[in-house]
């Protein structure tokens, strides 16, 4: 099994350091479902020693956080009362009335800012015809619950996450008749969410021009789940600074693009609680990945079938062709979806090579949104 899928569920998150209207919030997300790099074993690097057993290093300015303010035109909160959430949304609208919006859903443990670099590339390559919308899902980033419950545990059931996305889009675009055409793109867990959300949005009369699943395949991911606890054990407890967190992710090949890591990684950590022992790191992971363990299997079971059944154009983008499972192999031979393999990237392909992924997404959009009458979209029978 490839190293990519051995770490398939260890998605890391993106942070928006110092995005304007958020005082005191320069860490944006924690890591939940991403990969720890392309190491031969696929189990990630050895754990770093705790702060109590090593000398604290001065922050490396070469890995200083970069503000995400330049990647989206807007960063706002949406009151999604139907889900009991205050949802963080990053948005760049299309420049034309008949434009399309690419809706990005991140994987477990990531945040919307994992798409910061690719979002900027999409708007540039499409010359503004495509807008971009990226959302922090529940329990991630700056999305917060607005309803008081006795339980402190988040509900990460796939049905709940899917309903959250649908509810959020209904708030952002309340009138399907005037809403832009939507292209749904999801990475890892986000891929499972968007293929389930597609028919629900279509039933509500939203126009969906396609679904794009990014580097997730049901069979290999389910096989990789037993390795998750070992992968989590391999992570450091925390970091002395945001710079140290960024450097660790780059050095271990978790993210191969330092510029993207400088935008996204600070969001996956947060300051340690004030009552933490002095030996604790200054920054700890924002999202407790182990708390999502009861949901792991349900997230991905049935993904391939639901992807192939989507009543719209379908795109699967992978970091390695060997990751297709039997159901998808048959579907590919039958021409049910477009497959693109991006070389030289890891599981975080949207961060590793945002330019190439943006080119793939824009080309997919152009092929299927600007179709000539009588010409079928990709995957249509």
111 is known as an active-site residue: no
Say how far apart CA 381 and CA 376 lie, in whole Å. 7
Tokens of residue 372, six digits: 């000539």
30 is known as an active-site residue: no
Q: Are 266 and 65 in contact (CB under 8 A)?
A: yes
Buried b / exposed e along 369-381 (16+ C-beta atoms within 10 A): beeeeeeebbbee
| β-sheet with 269-271: strand ranges across | 238-239, 283-285, 269-271
Say how far apart CA 327 and CA 316 lie, in whole Å. 13
How, if at all, do strands 74-80 and 238-239 pair? unpaired
Helix (H, G, I), strand (E, B) or coil at 227: helix
188 is known as an active-site residue: yes
Q: Which of 215, 240, 352, 353 is catalytic?
A: 215
Alpha-helical segments (H) within 55-157: 116-125
Q: Which of 35, 188, 192, 260 is catalytic?
A: 188
Nearest to 6 by CA among 222, 326, 181, 290: 222
Q: Which of 105, 140, 347, 353 is catalytic?
A: 347
Q: Are 100 and 129 in contact (CB under 8 A)?
A: yes
Active site residues: 188, 215, 347
């Amino acid at each position: 099994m490839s190293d990519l899928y051995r770490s398939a569920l260890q998605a890391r998150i993106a942070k928006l350091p110092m995005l304007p209207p958020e005082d005191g919030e320069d860490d944006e997300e924690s890591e939940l479902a991403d990969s720890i790099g392309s190491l031969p074993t696929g189990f990630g690097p050895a754990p770093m020693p705790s702060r109590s057993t090593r000398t604290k290093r001065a922050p490396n300015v070469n890995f200083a956080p970069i503000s995400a303010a330049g990647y989206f035109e807007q960063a706002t909160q949406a009151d999604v009362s139907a889900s009991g959430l205050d949802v963080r949304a990053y948005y760049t609208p299309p420049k034309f009335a008949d434009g399309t919006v690419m809706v990005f859903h991140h994987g477990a443990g990531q945040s919307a800012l994992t798409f910061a670099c690719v979002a900027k590339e999409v708007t540039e390559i499409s010359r503004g015809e495509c807008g971009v919308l990226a959302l922090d899902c529940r329990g991630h980033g700056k999305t917060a619950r607005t309803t008081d419950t006795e339980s402190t545990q988040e509900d990460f059931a796939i049905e709940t996450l899917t309903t959250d996305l649908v509810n959020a889009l209904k708030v952002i675009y309340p009138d399907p008749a005037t809403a832009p055409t939507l292209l749904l793109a999801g990475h890892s867990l986000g891929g499972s969410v968007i293929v389930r959300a597609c028919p629900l949005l279509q039933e509500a009369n939203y126009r969906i021009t396609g679904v794009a699943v990014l580097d997730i395949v049901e069979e290999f991911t389910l096989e990789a789940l037993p390795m998750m606890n070992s992968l989590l054990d391999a992570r450091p407890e925390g970091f002395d600074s945001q710079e140290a967190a960024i450097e660790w992710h780059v050095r271990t090949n978790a993210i191969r693009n330092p510029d993207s890591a400088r935008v996204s990684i600070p969001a996956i950590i947060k300051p340690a609680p004030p009552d933490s022992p002095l030996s604790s790191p200054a920054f700890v992971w924002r999202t407790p990945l182990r708390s999502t363990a009861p949901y792991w299997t349900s997230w991905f079971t049935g993904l391939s079938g639901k992807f192939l059944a989507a009543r719209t154009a379908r795109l699967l983008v992978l970091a390695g062709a060997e990751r297709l499972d039997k159901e998808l192999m048959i579907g590919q031979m039958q021409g049910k979806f477009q497959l693109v393999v991006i070389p030289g990237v890891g599981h975080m392909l949207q961060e590793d090579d945002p330019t190439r992924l943006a080119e793939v997404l824009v080309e997919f959009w152009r092929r299927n949104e600007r179709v000539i009458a009588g010409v079928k979209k990709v995957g249509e029978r």
